[in-house]
């Protein structure tokens, strides 16, 4: 019965998206080409001309997997803050759902699993694009959509939990400016971690997005070790588990009188 309720909650988001999917076509299909063309080909030409290869890869190939990771994070962020706050405070959509046989945890799981589904689908398009640009060098690249879905889940779960307890969106802009933008810039996304001073490298490795970036590169190039992969996966799974546990409490407190 529990899975049936989660599925109904998930299906609500899927049915709504079926009416609005055209607005996300550009971000899911066109943006990967534009990002890689601008950063990989444009900036990559300058990098290659002055510095040559980056960790044995052209700059285009080096950043291509990391852009999948950053896109998965961004999707988890944008779909999990304002939409959730709107549903619990302004539109009262989740209150209406809680008046049905759905429990608050069903609403939570339905939302998080739908955002993860979006991350998985978007990562499929990104993987195809990365392949078209020649940045796939291993059969492990077939796991890139799964990694993208995991990254989306890892960021979505705690953000849904936070948004469910928020009274306004004032803090969202602060989170975006002082958490997500620095993560986007300083997670070894655009240059290798070896380019940082030694005392900063542990700090970069502490950043959640770094683990997603490292996983996508390992999968695309068939590099990395099992120990490192296990650490990266464990960090992302831990974020999801903590977020879902926290979300059960915040969603229940918000929707149950």
The structural domains of the chain, with segments of one domain joined by +, span 2-12+25-255
pLDDT at 1 over 70: no
Structure tokens at 165: 């307890």
Q: What is the pLDDT at residue 50?
A: 77
CB of 67 closer than 8 Å to CB of 34: no
CA–CA separation, 210 and 192 (whole Å): 11
CB of 69 closer than 8 Å to CB of 212: yes
Q: What is the pLDDT at residue 3?
A: 62
Q: Name the DSSP class of 192.
A: -
- Tally the C-alpha atoms within 13 A of residue 139's C-alpha that lie toward its C-beta: 0
What does the pLDDT look like over 143-195, one tens digit per residue? 999 999 999 999 999 999 999 999 999 999 999 999 999 999 999 998 899 88
Q: Region 53-82: what's the mean pLDDT?
A: 91
User: Residue with structure tokens 């190039």?
Assistant: 221
- CA–centroid distance for 10 within its chain: 18
Q: Region 118-128: what's the mean pLDDT?
A: 93
- Find the length of the chain: 257
CA–CA separation, 158 and 224 (whole Å): 28
CB of 48 closer than 8 Å to CB of 59: yes
Q: What is the pLDDT at residue 22?
A: 80
- What is this structure's pTM? 0.94
pLDDT at 123 over 80: yes
pLDDT at 241 over 60: yes
What does the pLDDT look like over 77-115, one tens digit per residue? 999 999 999 999 999 999 999 999 999 999 999 999 999
Q: What 3-state class would DSSP assign to 57? A: strand
pLDDT at 63 over 80: yes
Average predicted confidence (pLDDT) for the chain = 91
pLDDT at 30 over 80: no
CA–CA separation, 195 and 183 (whole Å): 16
Partner residues linked to 54 by β-bridges? 57
Q: Region 222-241: what's the mean pLDDT?
A: 95
Q: Alpha carbon of 140 to those of 55, 118, 145: distances in Å?
A: 19, 21, 11
DSSP 193-241: GGGS-TTTHHHHHHSHHHHHHHHHHHHHHT-S-HHHHHHHHHHHHHHHH
pLDDT interval class at 257 (50, 70, 90) = low
Helices (H) and strands (E) counted in the chain, each on its own, are: 14, 0
Q: What is the pLDDT at residue 2?
A: 55
pLDDT at 254 over 90: yes
């Amino acid at each position: 019965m529990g899975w049936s309720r989660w599925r109904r909650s998930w299906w609500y988001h899927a049915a709504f998206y079926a009416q609005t999917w055209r607005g996300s076509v550009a971000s899911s299909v066109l943006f990967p080409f534009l990002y890689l063309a601008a950063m990989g080909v444009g900036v990559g030409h300058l990098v290659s001309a002055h510095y040559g290869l980056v960790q044995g890869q052209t700059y285009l190939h080096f950043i291509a997997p990391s852009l999948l990771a950053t896109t998965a994070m961004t999707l988890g962020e944008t779909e999990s803050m304002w939409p959730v706050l709107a549903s619990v405070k302004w539109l009262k959509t989740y209150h209406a759902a809680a008046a049905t046989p759905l429990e608050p945890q069903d609403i939570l799981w339905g939302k998080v699993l739908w955002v993860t589904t979006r991350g998985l689908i978007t990562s499929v398009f990104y993987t195809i694009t990365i392949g078209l640009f020649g940045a796939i060098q291993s059969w492990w690249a077939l796991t890139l959509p799964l990694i993208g879905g995991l990254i989306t889940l890892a960021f979505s779960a705690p953000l849904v939990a936070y948004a469910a307890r928020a009274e306004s969106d004032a803090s969202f802009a602060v989170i975006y400016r002082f958490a997500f933008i620095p993560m986007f810039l300083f997670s070894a996304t655009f240059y290798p971690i070896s380019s940082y001073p030694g005392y900063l490298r542990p700090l970069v490795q502490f950043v959640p997005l770094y683990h997603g970036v490292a996983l996508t590169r390992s999968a695309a190039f068939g590099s990395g070790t099992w120990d490192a992969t296990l650490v990266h996966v464990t960090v992302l799974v831990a974020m999801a588990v903590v977020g879902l546990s926290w979300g059960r409490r915040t969603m229940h407190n918000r929707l149950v009188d």
